[in-house]
Amino acid sequence: MLDIRRIRNDLDAVKAALARRGEDTSELDRAFELEARQRRLVLERDQLRNRVRTLSKQVGGLHREGKGEEAAAVQDDSRRLGAEEARLAEEAGTLGAELRDLLLRIPNLPHPDAPDGEDDTDNPVIKVVGFDPDGYGAHQRVPHWEVGEELGILDNARAVKISGSMFTMPRKGGATLARALCQLALDRNADAFEEVRPPSLVLTETLAATGQLPKFADDAYAVERDDLWCVPTAEVPLTSLARDEVVDEVDLPMRLMAYTPCYRREAGSAGRDTRGMLRAHEFDKVEIFAYAAPSSAPKLLEEMLGRAEATIVELDLAYRVVEICTGDLGQSHHRSFDVEVYAPGCDQWLEVSSVSWFADYQARRANIRYRPTAGKGTELVHTLNGSALAVPRVWAAIVEAYRQPDGSVRVPLALLPYFRGATEIR
């Protein structure tokens, strides 16, 4: 969440930054007012608390002097002021909770270099690699859901029978392909990132730390009986790995990676891109994540984007990189880039990786700090994350782009070590 001190001391600049996202800035005015009222109440409470302490000392002194009646009168004043102090403390606490809830809903401020825009149509394309629209044969222009059904490697009809709409079920070589993609992403990043297998169910405060709650509760799967939530991405548990902790600067950047299933209700998405593997309530993904000192975060963002690109290059898929404009940034994002692959059968660019820098927005929610090597005290870390590889759309692009004239699908060279000797899917 945003630093309330920055809102207090530089409200106009914060409003100008938030306005770049197309957001209503009136909630910043409300936060400013709530915080001012809370501070006044806290000051009054503290003044009363000090007065009560002084009176308590007087009561003791009067008793020692044998002045019982005067002590009783002072004690009555002390009780009255104590009750008023308790009332002010409760009111300040209520305002503090209201302020925190408001701050949890206000999005992050965009990086000054993030391009301005209203929605995803304004996202500038940074580069395009390996794309030749005339370089695909008719056999590659078949959508993956048709190829999957023909080869028996995608059985969404039975997935729907088992779990309902917007669930998918790769089988045979399709299941092997999904697993192979996850292993490839883990292997490619194992040189620098510690592998973690976090829980797939998390507490409310864990989901809130990344920005999904309270604003996007309708998009998440809740296990209400146990106050648990299914993770929408491994970013969620990885962000909270050091929640309420202080790490040493010498241990930064702390790099983590994880495979998890991901669960998203995607409320309102039914009927849009729901065929095949393009959009589903459950899918597999490998995430890379880092805690960093603020000074190293920009370079780390470049590195993580480069890693996401490199995996797609190794799979020999046409791709492009787009930068996310201010009006399309996610709730917690400070700056963000997407990697999209081209799927010739769908004739679409499909987002397969989002690499983002959150500045200290998530760390403030989760209270994650580091102890600088030079200097005193602690500071908030910066968090970054990226999809090393999200399975469904890469799966779709491979099944379409690697389809052969005889209807089989050639296994990409990078995935051969995971296919038990098979070189094609038939």
**Measured distance CA(319)–CA(312) in Å, rounded:** 7
Give yes or no for residue 62 having a pLDDT over 90: no
Average pLDDT over every residue of 233-258 = 97
pLDDT (0 to 100) of residue 189: 98
Average pLDDT over every residue of 24-30 = 96
pLDDT (0 to 100) of residue 269: 52
Alpha-carbon distances of 51 from 61, 281, 366, rounded to whole Å: 15, 59, 36
**Measured distance CA(355)–CA(303) in Å, rounded:** 10
pLDDT (0 to 100) of residue 56: 85
Q: Edge to edge, what strands does the sheet with 282-292 contain?
A: 125-129, 319-323, 335-343, 348-357, 382-390, 282-292, 254-263, 194-196
- 126-130, 133-137, 230-234, 276-280: range with lowest mean pLDDT: 276-280
Alpha-carbon distances of 67 from 58, 72, 420, rounded to whole Å: 11, 9, 94
Q: 120-425: which CATH topology?
A: BirA Bifunctional Protein; domain 2 (3.30.930)
**Residues 394/339, Cβ–Cβ less than 8 Å:** no
Average pLDDT over every residue of 157-161 = 96
Cβ density class 409-418: b for 16+ within 10 Å, e for less: bebbebbeeb
pLDDT (0 to 100) of residue 107: 97
Taking phi first (over 0 means left), then psi (-120 to 50 degrees means alpha), and beta for anything else, what does residue 360 get?
alpha
**Residues 1/109, Cβ–Cβ less than 8 Å:** no
pLDDT in tens, 369-393: 999 998 789 999 999 999 999 999 9
Give yes or no for residue 215 having a pLDDT over 90: no
Q: Burial, 360: exposed, middle or buried (Cβ in 10 Å; 0-12, 13-18, 19+)?
A: buried
Residue 197 corresponds to which tokens in the numbers above? Answer: 């297998």
The residues that bridge with 282 in the sheet, in sequence order, are: 263
Q: Tell me how crowded residue 33 is: count the other CB atoms within 10 A of its CB.
A: 12
pLDDT (0 to 100) of residue 417: 98
**Measured distance CA(22)–CA(405) in Å, rounded:** 48
Q: What is the DSSP letter of 67?
A: -
Multiple choice CATH, 4-105, 1.10.287.40, 1.10.3720.10, 3.40.718.10, 1.10.10.10: 1.10.287.40
Alpha-carbon distances of 64 from 54, 57, 58, 70, 366, rounded to whole Å: 16, 11, 10, 12, 51
Match 């270099």 to its residue by tokens: 113
pLDDT (0 to 100) of residue 368: 98
**Residues 299/383, Cβ–Cβ less than 8 Å:** no
Paired sense of beta strands 254-263 and 194-196, if any:
parallel
pLDDT in tens, 271-287: 556 689 999 999 999 99
Residues with Cβ within 8 Å of residue 11, at least 6 apart in sequence: 28, 29, 32
**Residues 209/240, Cβ–Cβ less than 8 Å:** yes
Average pLDDT over every residue of 354-367 = 98
pLDDT band at 216 (very low <50, low <70, confident <90, very high): confident
pLDDT in tens, 268-327: 455 556 689 999 999 999 999 999 999 999 999 999 999 999 999 999 999 999 999 999
Angle between helices 391-401 and 173-189 (to 10 degrees): 120
pLDDT in tens, 65-97: 888 888 888 888 889 998 999 999 999 999 999
Paired sense of beta strands 228-230 and 222-223, if any:
antiparallel
Match 């998440």 to its residue by tokens: 220
The residues that bridge with 389 in the sheet, in sequence order, are: 286
**Residues 394/315, Cβ–Cβ less than 8 Å:** yes
Helix (H/G/I), strand (E/B), else coil: 46: helix
Where are the chain's structural domains?
4-105, 120-425
**Measured distance CA(408)–CA(139) in Å, rounded:** 10
Give yes or no for residue 425 having a pLDDT over 90: yes
**Residues 24/37, Cβ–Cβ less than 8 Å:** no
pLDDT (0 to 100) of residue 312: 98
